[in-house]
Structure 1
Amino acid sequence: MAVRAVRGAAQVDADERDLILKATTELVTALFEANGLTPDDVISIVFTATPDLISEFPALAARELGLVDTPLLCATEIAVPGALPRVVRILAHVETMRSKQEVQHVYLGGATALRRDIAQ
């Protein structure tokens, strides 16, 4: 079993609590499905949000999905002028048999612009 980092991002339509939770739930769910992960596979998750998202912690969505005993952390992305607005990003550290090349990173909605080379 190897430890791998899995990345992803989703753009939120507006800085509203329900929209942040919905986008984060979709992101975590898609990341798990794409990589065949269960909550037991997750070591930790770091969530970041652009400075324009302040209505809720993205990690709450992961808690509501059952990641209650997993270390989760939220942070703010740096405010780069011209950067894509309203984005939640995820960096999950997981145990998996997949190689680095087999890991599927997930970019949803407008966030596909961040990684056109690997977005699904």
Structure 2
Amino acid sequence: MVRGVRGATTIEDNTKQEIISATEKLLREMIDANNIKATDVAQILVSTTDDINACFPAAAVRLLEGWTFVPVMCMKEIPVPDSLPLCIRVMMTVNTEVEQSDITHIYLEKAILLRPDLTKHIDS
């Protein structure tokens, strides 16, 4: 069956190095927490708030060994007033037999504020 694995993080500065580093860390934690293999991933969608534009955060996927053929796309979040700034969100669509309630969603840095009800990992 197909499941969505969610994740989000924030950065302090809109720089290529920080965007890629934060996204790679988020992806690795999502993968590790859910025992995800690249061959089980249908796609990864990466969104950013309007204040992130120094690079495409989806480029971080290419730093993961064996993930070359996973389709990845970047997009912008809708600009909701007073929303969390400098935020990168990831939706990974995965083929798995894991129950939806057993998926571990990862929220790092200030992004833990987005879904404290789903946050099983806190890193601030």
1:31 correspondence with 2:30: yes
User: With structure 1 as the length reference, what TM-score do the two structures score?
Assistant: 0.96
State the alpha-carbon separation in 1 of the partners of residues 102 and 47 from structure 2. Answer: 24
1:74-89 to 2 correspondence within 5 Å? Answer: 74-89=74-89
The unaligned stretches of length 5 or more in structure 1 are: none
SS in 2 for 1:53: coil
How far apart, CA to CA, are the structure 2 residues paired with 1:111 and 1:96? Answer: 25
Distance 1:7 1:101 in 2: 13
Correspondence list, 1:25-104, <5 A: 25-66=24-65, 67-104=67-104
Q: Match of 2:8, as an amino acid?
A: A
**Runs ≥4 residues deviating over 2 A:** none
Per-residue Cα deviation, 1:6-60 (whole angstroms, up to 9, x for no partner)? 1110001110000000000011000001101111111100000000000010110
- Structure 2: where are the runs of 5+ without partners? none
Aligned to 2:13: 14
Provide the C-alpha distance between the structure 1 equivalents of 2:46 and 2:112, rounded to a whole number of angstroms.
17
What is the root-mean-square deviation of aligned Cα atoms in Å? 0.8
AA of the residue aligned to 1:83: S
| CA distance in structure 2 between the aligned counterparts of 1:63 and 1:42, rounded to whole angstroms | 14
Structure 1: distance between partners of 2:71 and 2:115: 26
Q: Name the aligned partner's letter for residue 23 of structure 1.
A: A
TM-score, structure 2 normalization: 0.93
